[in-house]
Amino acid sequence: MSEMWINMGPQHPMTHGLWNLRVKIDGEMILDVDPEMGYLHRGIEKISEDRHYNEVITLMDRCCYVAGFAWEHLYIQSAEQALGLRPPERAEYLRVLCDEFQRIASHLMWYAAFVQDIGLMSPFLYGMRDRDLVLDLFQSYTGARMTYEYMRVGGVRNDVPPGFTDQARKVLDWLSDRFVEYDQLCLGSTIFRERCDDLGTLKANDCVAHGVTGPMLRAAGLKRDLRKDRPYAAYDRLEFDVAVADSADVTARYLVRMEEMRQSVRILRQVVDWLDRHPGPVLAERLPRWLGAPYAPIGNEGYLLKRHYAKGVGFSAVEEPHGEAQAYVVNDGGEHPYRVKFRSPVFANISAARQYLVGYHVADIPPIMGSVDVCVGEVDR
Amino acid sequence: MQPDDIARQLAPKLGDGLLSVEPFPGTAGRVRFRSERALELFRAVRDDLHFGHLSMVGAIDWVDHREVFYVAWSDAATQYLFLSTDVPASAAHVESASSVWPSANWHEREAWEMVDVTFDNHPDLRHLLMPDGYAFHPLLRSFKLHEPEELEVKSRHV
Amino acid sequence: MASATLYSVSDGLASALLHALGSVLPGPARAAVTNPNVIVGLAVLIFAVILLAASMLNTILLIWWERKLLGRFMDRRGAMHVGFAGLLQNFADGLKLFRKNTFQPQEADPLGFYTGPCAYMVTSLIIFGVLPISSGWNAGTLPLTLLLALAIFSFAPLFIFVSAWSSNNKYSLMGGMRSAAQMIAYEVPILLAVVAVILVAGSFNLTTIVYEQQNYWFWGPLVVALIVFVAGMLAEMERIPFDLPEAEAELVEGWNTEYGGMLFAFFMLADYLRALVGSILVVLLFLGGWTMPTWVPGALTSFPLAGIFWFMVKTYTVFGLFVWVRASLPRVRTDQLLRVGWNRMIPLSLLSIFLAAVLVTVKCLPLLGCVPGVGS
């Protein structure tokens, strides 16, 4: 067979979304790749220029459909900087609660899709089953399972319901037991190791050069995690370790994500305990005077935020489940953000595709791209 | 790392290419520079200040001019650095950063198609999110929403 | 009716039918209808219809069995709603596929595109004609049924490749290539493993091979051959971990990507037919066919159709093992698969032949027999 280009996508089981990986192959070998994005481009940055500050939150949930909370948090932080607001402490803990549960949910989704990619059928259902427990928790305090619209400029929308923390503890106990099973199913399998070891290797210096962040970078041995390096929300008051591995291959990324889920459970136990002990407000009740808003009834913040602001910019970054996400919000004093710019970690991770795909087999594409954990919603925005 | 330190280290290399270094929320500071000296600045930031990782490139349309901004990260300082330069709207072009930071590649492609800033010597300046042959630049202020847009998109690969 | 065979039953049925028909017809027509050749012809037809119905029914039941088992392995229930415990779900699915429009890609070659699935289906069905299911259910005394069954079984790569190539799709073509490479690679160890069985049984006839196992089943003494045979069958049936010709993660659906509706159903059914054949061959060659060990109480082995019952129990258990493998193993890669095939399986199968030859020579088979036989 001579060389040929094949389109893996836009509708292809490997893509887990809507994008196209053009692959040049010779027989079963990959000679070149050219990712083609944009099939899911909704122009979120453009739409944001036409929305009030709180209305953008709705878009953020749709930005990454498996990690909505992380993106809400990201935008909220930048918007608060741009507007000069500060959330109450309990809101910060609640945001961490959202973020970490979201990380677990996202990683479970990744696990389900990834094992499916290498042909392991049953764990797909296990991952989805356990993710559902986390989504049930989300539903109990946001009313939604995917598009939460929960965080607000100046705090969060509402507190968790009574009994939530006990339920959360039960879920955490269940999850920590399941992680052992996952490892037995995958790492205990010779075929799994045969398929994943020394596959899709991307060394640390290549990761840095190509802007790769998140579990892929940590799997290359670089201990970089914004939650530690530049703590935001309540992360500086919580104990956890940064998961790293050093073989830089698919197995290493698997190990890193598994360890991250364990660390998330550890963080969540502390957060849940803290929430039990420290009741308090979750939304900045009194927005600053220059907003012209003496009393801000909850649920009506959007109206108040239509008023005048001082000019300002906000730049913030969060450690999203896929890597490092950044948001830049420019406030020119008008009703709407003048410009919003998001940096998606998966965007950078996919842009390096040539570095970690060329030279492997066609059959290696699904495990490698699976280990990248593609979420097209945030790549295309 | 404070804005003053950055200015002190960059000034000898850049000379009048460096306009100012000011505090900027969430980062070590914002470096404003002349677009003609972009490549020198990128090298200095990467090699002297050790900001080895370019996170993001973007552009803002300020109607009379356009601003191109870069966000770099240093593992040693665990800090971000914000770089920005103004280019006139009539001749919006700046040297590509992708020879210094390969990660700039896709970000510059996006900035080019969205805000119409050309990156000189870019290895692969094609459309990224928009279809090939798309004639508009959606993130320009002149591109209004709420107006129906008719456009025939041809398949890229037959 | 222990001596009645499936063919003798259909023969009796045909002749009774035709004679009854002839008795109401005038003389010349009666002679034509009761002509022995016509009777044989109708008998063969009835025989074929019974076989077809039985194999299709079993295949559909097999799919249900797999869906239920997989469901349990995955912590869910499997098909539940159509019929008792979802038994009719596959009929509903078949009906849905049957109603679908038959289409072909614009650039596909119609000849190969349509003959491929049909030939694949037909060759899979033909094998059932020679497989003995019980002492009464077999095609007669053909001397080389085992060889014939395996020969027809290995037609498949040809038709898969034809349909893959004529669909004019790169994924199909790659799937077809993989399929051809894989089946050819695993054909060899399977045949070599079978040689071990033939050495011990001293016959190519499947019925004889089963009767040879009345005293001891072959899986004990020929365990190496069994391992090779089962692994090879997994590859031949294109099931996980060897399902890479249709690895849905990278090749969409492999060689049947372009097929939809009833043509897809043909592939699906033929796949399960082949899975059934594979399980049946394992039972016939290694697990004593329809015979049962003597420690099983006589009441359990002497009721009518006990042979078929126990045969089916064994077959579905073997297939259940295949499903278990599918539920818990990832897929291997082409080069790994071929490496295992050529570098491991062939030496192992040669070893199994050697072991079988030694066993036959020193006549110590009964000592190694794991399960005492039922017969005298």
CATH number at residue A245: 1.10.645.10
Choice between B26 and C190, residue whose per-residue pLDDT is larger: C190
List chain A pLDDT tens, one digit each, 381 residues.
578 888 887 888 777 878 888 889 887 888 889 888 888 888 888 888 887 777 788 888 888 888 889 898 988 888 888 777 778 888 889 999 999 999 999 999 999 888 888 888 888 889 888 999 999 999 998 888 888 888 877 788 788 888 898 999 999 999 998 898 888 888 888 888 888 888 888 888 888 889 898 898 999 988 888 888 888 888 888 888 888 888 888 999 999 999 999 999 999 999 999 988 888 777 776 554 434 334 444 445 554 455 556 677 888 889 889 989 999 988 887 677 888 899 999 998 998 888 888 888 888 888 898 888 888 888 888
User: Would you say residue A372 lies in a domain?
Assistant: no
> Are B and C touching by the rule of 3+ CB pairs within 8 Å?
no
Query: Which of A22, A41, A315 lies at the smallest CB-CB distance from B26?
Result: A315
pLDDT band at C328 (very low <50, low <70, confident <90, very high): confident
Residue A333: Cβ within 10 Å count: 10
> In this model, does residue C362 exceed pLDDT 70?
yes
pLDDT at residue A285, rounded to an integer: 60
Average pLDDT score over residue span B13-32: 83
Q: In the beta sheet, which residues pair with residue A3?
A: A26
3-state secondary structure of A125: helix
Structural domain of residue A200, as residue ranges?
43-347
Task: Pull the structure tokens for residue A57.
Answer: 């939150």
| CB contacts < 8 A (A, C) | 86
Residue C369, pLDDT > 60, answer no
ipTM of this model? 0.82
Option in C174, C177, C330 nearest A120 (CB): C330
Cα A317 from chain centre = 12
Q: How far is CA A62 from CA A261, A340, B110, C2, C27, in A?
A: 23, 15, 20, 70, 84
- How much is the average pLDDT of C249-276? 83
**Does A184 reside within a domain?**
yes
Kind and range of the H or E run holding C261:
helix C261-286
With H, G, I as helix, E, B as strand and everything else as coil, classify residue B74: strand
For the cut 50, the answer to whether the pLDDT of residue C370 exceeds it is no
| Tokens coding C296 | 């099983």
**Whole-model pTM?**
0.85
Q: Does residue A37 sit at the B interface (CB-CB below 8 Å)?
A: yes
Yes or no, beta carbons of A117 and C171 under 8 Å apart: no
- How many domains does chain A contain in total? 1
| Across A119-133, C286-300, C361-375, least confident range | C361-375
Is the distance from CB of A96 to CB of A184 less than 8 angstroms?
no
Confidence (pLDDT) at A294: 40
**A12–C252: do the CB atoms touch at under 8 Å?**
yes
C326/A194 Cβ within 8 A: no
Chain C residues with CB-CB distance to A174 below 8 A: none
Which CATH class name applies to B3-91?
alpha beta
**Pick from A8, A192, A364: CB nearest C330:** A192
What are the boundaries of each domain within chain B? 3-91
Residue indicated by tokens 């356990």: A130
> Residue A6: closest CA among chain B residues belongs to which residue?
B157
Cα of A8 to nearest chain B Cα, Å:
13
Segment B75-100 shows an average pLDDT of 87
Q: Which residues make Cβ contacts (< 8 Å) with residue B50, sequence separation at least 6?
A: B74, B75, B76, B77
- Domain definitions of chain C by residue range: 100-368
Q: Which residue has the higher pLDDT, C238 or A328?
A: A328
Instruction: Please give the pLDDT value at position A309.
Output: 60
Nearest neighbour of C74 by CB, restricted to A117, A122, A361: A122
Using beta carbons and an 8 Å cutoff, which residues of A are at the interface with C? Answer: 1, 4, 6, 8, 12-14, 28, 115-122, 124-126, 129, 185, 189, 191-192, 194-195, 361-366
In the prediction, which pLDDT does B152 show?
Answer: 66
Of B67-81, C15-29, C190-204, the range with the lowest mean pLDDT is C15-29
User: Under 8 Å CB-to-CB from C345, ≥6 apart: which residues?
Assistant: C186, C188, C189, C228, C231, C232
For residue C286, pLDDT beyond 80? yes
- Over residues C66-119, the pLDDT tens digits come to 999 988 888 888 888 888 888 888 888 888 988 888 888 888 888 888 888 889
